[in-house]
Amino acid sequence: MGRRRHQARLRSQALAYRAAALLAIGAAVITGALIALSTAPRPRLDSTALRFPVSPRLIASVDDAGRLEPLGMVIPPDASQAPSWPPALLNPEARLRWGWDLSLGRPGSREVLFTFDDGPNPGTTDRLLPMLARANIHAAFFVCGWRLESSEQPLRNRARQILRDIVAAGHVVGNHTVHHYQLPTLTPERVRYEIEHNADLIQEVIGERPHLFRPPYGAYSEDVRRHLVSKGNELWMWSIDPHDYLLVNNAESVAQRVITNLGNHAGGTVLLHDTHPWSVAAMAKIIRWLDRENSDREQSGRAPYVVLDPARYLEGARARLPQIQAADALANSSSRGRSRDAGADTGPAVEPTTGVVGEGPVDAGVATAAMDAGDGR
């Protein structure tokens, strides 16, 4: 009798072990499926596929009957996996108009990219970096090389260390030439020197050459364009320029101009200068506004602003390429039609890249006046 009870106990234990094993296997399968689903790329509501894993969040309101009514979906960046850097070129022919248009980013997305020009500058850039770190913002810094090879050793050493700090903090470094000259006024040889020597200096400090290029003052020429194409660089402009170099010691006005234009353009590429103390102070005000504004937007069911790193922002800007290409095709078609009407066929329209241009399509007049006055952008 005791022997039968012992055998029954053993059979029960064996069944319990098998059941536990099956439960463990089932849990593992379910967990793996959930992980795969959570990291799979999902489409935005505008059907533009994202190329990086995201975790969407539904925004809804409650109607009079107490039912949830979906208003839209917010797809924030996924910090765990970023697109590869450098990305495939958006603008392989380095066309100036494309550079301006692409800086607008994904249409209507309220996605924001912060960019800073002319540094690294001891005393201002090193004050900006902790501020960006606390807000989890990763920006693009367009660097001027004269600071990295200054004859004043303390300035040179400090600027180089700050540049290494920029990279260590997860920001992207772009090329803004050595001396910040208006490139269309230079010989082709000097244009190459300003761009390539600056790239050499940056590579010497951080170990890699910059992928992004921004011409000082937005001044462009065919020599610059050909050189960027030959080097496979991405021309990156801006869509929001508060002209902070004119607003000396007026952080409030700088911040308000950025905030107003973020609303007007539903996001975009912001241009600031990390060499001005008032611009650094303005950045603190902009970050506080974004925090308050996004809180209000989420409470009222509106899509918030999303500050992206350069890799994700450029990846999102690919959604703008079809409309840019369609506009180009329409412009070329109209140009050929006008040529036929005039009795001549001049071929495709040529982009007017030669000569000094203004600082963007909206504020070109202000920028041109500033250039004439010799500002230090």
The catalytic residue positions are 117, 273
Which uninterrupted H or E stretch holds 61? strand 57-62
On whether the CB atoms of residues 328 and 113 are closer than 8 A, the answer is no
Separation of alpha carbons 112 and 267, rounded Å: 5
Phi, psi of 290 (to 5 degrees): -60, -40
- Here the tokens at position 147 are 């600071």
SS3 call for 373: coil
Nearest to 79 by CA among 277, 353, 288, 306: 306
Q: Work out the burial of residue 295: count CB atoms within 10 Å of its CB; fewer than 13 is exposed, 13-18 middle, 19 or more buried.
A: exposed
**270: enclosing H helix or E strand:** strand 267-273
The structure tokens 């994700």 sit at 312
Pairing relation of β-strands 234-235 and 68-74? unpaired
DSSP symbols for 153-195: HHHHHHHHHHHHHHHHTT-EEEE--SS---GGGS-HHHHHHHH
